[in-house]
Structure 1
Amino acid sequence: MQRREFMFSTALASAALVSSPFSSLLARQEAERKFKIALNPGTIGVKANYAQTLDYAIQYKYEAISPFTQEVMEKYSDGQLNEILAKMKENGIGYDSANVPVEFRRDKSKFNEDFKGLRKFCETMEKQGATRINTWIISSHNELTYNENMKQHAYRLGECAKVMKDHGIRFGLEYLGMRTMMTQNRYPFIGSMKEGKELIGEIGESNVGFVVDSFHWYCANDTLEDLRTLKPEDVVVVDLNDARLGFTRETQLDGKRELPMATGVINTKDFLQGIIDIGYEGPVRTEPFNQELNDMENDVALKLNMEAIKKALATVGLK
C-alpha cells in the first residue's frame, strides 16, 4: 500500500515554483492516500480462508488481501475463482503479497524440488491478478560465510525472480535487522538496507525489490534518509509494526513485536514519511507476531489492527 502525503521531489519543485499559500494547498491535496491498507489475517492471529478474508476486508474496510494462491490451486475451479474476483472488484479490494513457495535456505535438493512448482504457482497468481511475492533473508548462518551466503542467495533468488518476471510478478526481499539474529549463528549476513541493496544488485533482476518493515528498519538503525535513497519501484511491500518496551535497539527479538503506535519505540512518523517521500504505491500491512493479539477473537483483532494502522497514518496527515 502506499501513501504519499506528497512526493519528495514534487514538494521541492512546488516550493520553488509557487507561493507559500498555494504550496500548502497543493501539499494537502497530495496528502490524499492512494495506497491500500492490506489484511494478512495470519499475522494477527485471525484464522480465515480466501473467501472469509475477503468478507472480513469488506466488513472492516481493508483494501487488499493476501492472494491465498495455494488454496486457489488446490480448491478453486475457474468458475469459483471468477466469482470471488468479481466480488473483490465490486468492493474495490486488491491484493497484498504471497510468501514465496520455494525453500531456498536449505540444501540444493530441497530448493530444486520446490522450484519445480514455482511456475504453476506464478501462473495461478497471474490468473488471480496478483503481482507480488515476498520472502525474508535470515541474517546469519552457521556454515556459510557472508560471501558464500551471498552467492547462494543471489543464484537461488535470481532463478525464482526470472520465473516470476514471466508472469508479471515482483519479488520483495525483507532484510532482518535484529542484532540478536546476526549473532545467533557463526557468520553474520545481511541485516540492513544497504546490505539488502547489495543482494538485490547481485541478483540483477529488474523485478526484485524490498519488503521494508519498520521493525527491521529500526533494529538495523536505518534512517529516514536511507528510505529516501529508494525509488518507488524498489519497494514491493511495506510492513508497519512497533517494537517492545524494555529492550534496546540491539536486544530486540524477532517474532515479538507490537501493533503500530502501541509503544512509540519506533519513529513511525519518520518511517511513513520516507515511504511517502519516495512515492511508494503498494500494500501496507502489519506483522506484529504478538501473542496477546493472536489470542483475541477475530473481530476484536481485525478492529484493533485497523485502528492501529489509522493511528499511524494520522502521524503524517493521512486517513
Structure 2
Amino acid sequence: MHRRSFLSTGLLLPTGVALAATTTKPSPPNTSLRVSLKADAIGVSGSPTEMLEGAIKHGYDALSVPAQWLEGMTAKERQGFAARARSNDISWGANGLPIEFRRSEQQFRADLGALPQHAANLRSIGVTRIGTWIMPCHESLTYRDNFDQHASRLRDAARILREEGIRLGLEYIGTRSLRHSQRFAFISTGRELRQLIDAIGEENVGVILDSFHWYTSGESVEDLKQWSNEEIVAVDVNDANPKLSREDQADTARELPGASGVIDLNGFLGFLHERKYEGPVRAEPFSATLNGMDNDLAMAATYAAVAGSIERAIKG
C-alpha cells in the first residue's frame, strides 16, 4: 500500500545542486550521519548491482536494500554484493517493511508468514534496519481500535525481526490533508508515536524521523529531544513547498532538502549531529521532475542536496 498515489509536478534545486550534479561530487560532510541512497524515492531504477555501483560512484555512504532485491540472489551472490559494499565503505540503509499490516487480518498473516525468510536474507548481507510509516487516518477504525491493531501487528513483526537482529523504525505522517482524508484521525505527531512504541513494548522498535513531517506536525527541536540516538532507526530529509502554508502541505509535493528553505533543516540536522546519530539520512521528494532525470543525474543531484544540507547544519 503506497500513500503516494501521485507525484509533484515540479522540483526546486538547492543552490549549487545543478552544478554539482554535472561536475565533481561534493566532499562528504565530517559527521556520523550517513548519506543514504533510497532509489525508488528519487525515481531511480535498475538492478541491485547497478544501484550499488551508482551509490559508490556518487559518494553515498549507505544504500537502502528492499527485501525483494535479495529474493533472486543465491547465497554466493548475496555475499559478493555485501563484500562489494563493505570494500567501498557502503553501509545499509532502512528500506520498507515487506508486509501489509494496514488491511485485512488474512493478508497480514500471509505476509507475516513470509517475513522470517525476508529477514534472514537481509541479515545475511548485514542489514540491521527496516522501516514503515503509520497512516494518520482510517475510514472505519476509531483511534483506539486502530492503535490496538497497530500495536498487536507491529509487535508480531518486530519479534520476527528481532530474531535476526533487525530494528524496526516507525514514521509518523504530519500532513493535515492526509490526516483528515478519512473518517477517523490517527497518529500524526512524535508524542503519539512514542505512545505506540511503548505499547508495542519491543526494544528493537524505534522511530524514523522525517523533517517534512516534523515540520507539518508543528513540532520543534525541543520535540526531537525525546528521541535517543539508539531509538532513531533512520532519517528522511526533505524541504516543503514554498507556495503552501504548513497546514496545506501535501505529502506528495515536497522538495529536495535546502531547495525552498521553508523547513529549519539546520535545527533538524544539527540536533542529529549533536546527538551523534550514526545512521542513514535519505531524501524522499517524490518529484516527477527528479523522476524524469536519468539515473546518474538524479543520484548526483540528490547526494549534493543531502550532503550540502548536512554540511550547512554542522557549520551552523
Per the normalisation by structure 1, the TM-score is 0.88
Of residues 275-284 and 117-126 in structure 1, the stretch that sits farther from structure 2 once superposed is 275-284
> In the alignment, is the contact (CA less than 8 A) between 2:32 and 2:277 conserved in 1?
no
Tell me the residue number matched to 2:264: 267
Residues 1:45 and 2:32 are matched in the alignment: no
Tell me the residue number matched to 1:178: 175
Q: 1:98: Cα distance to partner?
A: 2.1
Q: 1:181: Cα distance to partner?
A: 1.1
Q: Distance between the aligned counterparts of 1:119 and 1:81, measured in 2?
A: 17
Match of 1:283 among 250, 256, 280: 280
Q: 1:279: Cα distance to partner?
A: 2.5
Give the partner amino acid of 1:42.
Answer: D
Match of 1:94 among 91, 94, 105: 91
Q: How does 1:1-319 map to 2 (within 5 A)?
A: 32-73=30-71, 75-317=72-314
> In the alignment, is the contact (CA less than 8 A) between 1:49 and 1:68 conserved in 2?
no
Q: Distance between the aligned counterparts of 1:131 and 1:258, measured in 2?
A: 28
Q: Distance between the aligned counterparts of 1:33 and 1:314, measured in 2?
A: 9
Aligned residues: 287
Give the partner amino acid of 2:39.
Answer: P
Give the partner amino acid of 1:280.
Answer: Y
Unaligned runs of 5+ in 1: 1-30
> In the alignment, is the contact (CA less than 8 A) between 1:57 and 1:65 conserved in 2?
yes
| Secondary structure, counterpart of 1:315 in structure 2 | helix
Tell me the residue number matched to 1:14: none
Q: Distance between the aligned counterparts of 1:123 and 1:81, measured in 2?
A: 12
Q: 1:32: Cα distance to partner?
A: 3.5
> In the alignment, is the contact (CA less than 8 A) between 2:32 and 2:273 conserved in 1?
no
> In the alignment, is the contact (CA less than 8 A) between 1:134 and 1:171 conserved in 2?
yes
> In the alignment, is the contact (CA less than 8 A) between 1:231 and 1:279 conserved in 2?
no
Q: Distance between the aligned counterparts of 1:49 and 1:265, measured in 2?
A: 35
> In the alignment, is the contact (CA less than 8 A) between 1:134 and 1:172 conserved in 2?
yes
Identity %: 37
> In the alignment, is the contact (CA less than 8 A) between 2:239 and 2:259 conserved in 1?
yes
Q: Distance between the aligned counterparts of 2:314 and 2:113, measured in 1?
A: 46
Give the partner amino acid of 2:152.
Answer: Y
Give the partner amino acid of 2:45.
Answer: K
Q: 1:49: Cα distance to partner?
A: 2.1
Give the partner amino acid of 2:307.
Answer: K
Unaligned runs of 5+ in 2: 1-28
Q: Distance between the aligned counterparts of 1:279 and 1:233, measured in 2?
A: 10
> In the alignment, is the contact (CA less than 8 A) between 1:141 and 1:186 conserved in 2?
yes
Q: 1:317: Cα distance to partner?
A: 2.7
Q: Distance between the aligned counterparts of 2:82 and 2:170, measured in 1?
A: 27
> In the alignment, is the contact (CA less than 8 A) between 1:63 and 1:94 conserved in 2?
yes
Tell me the residue number matched to 1:26: none
Q: Distance between the aligned counterparts of 2:158 and 2:168, measured in 1?
A: 6
Per the normalisation by structure 2, the TM-score is 0.89
Deviations 1:85-107 (A, max 9, x none): 22111111110112111100001
Q: Distance between the aligned counterparts of 2:226 and 2:66, measured in 1?
A: 32
Q: 1:84: Cα distance to partner?
A: 1.6
| Secondary structure, counterpart of 1:171 in structure 2 | strand
Give the partner amino acid of 1:225.
Answer: E
Q: 1:207: Cα distance to partner?
A: 0.4
TM-align CA RMSD:
1.2
Deviations 1:220-271 (A, max 9, x none): 0111011122101111000000011111111101111110001011111011
Structure 1 or 2, whichever has the larger Rg, is 1
Of residues 146-155 and 291-300 in structure 1, the stretch that sits farther from structure 2 once superposed is 291-300
Deviations 1:52-103 (A, max 9, x none): 0111011101111122322212x21122122222211111111011211110
> In the alignment, is the contact (CA less than 8 A) between 1:230 and 1:278 conserved in 2?
no
Give the partner amino acid of 1:309.
Answer: V
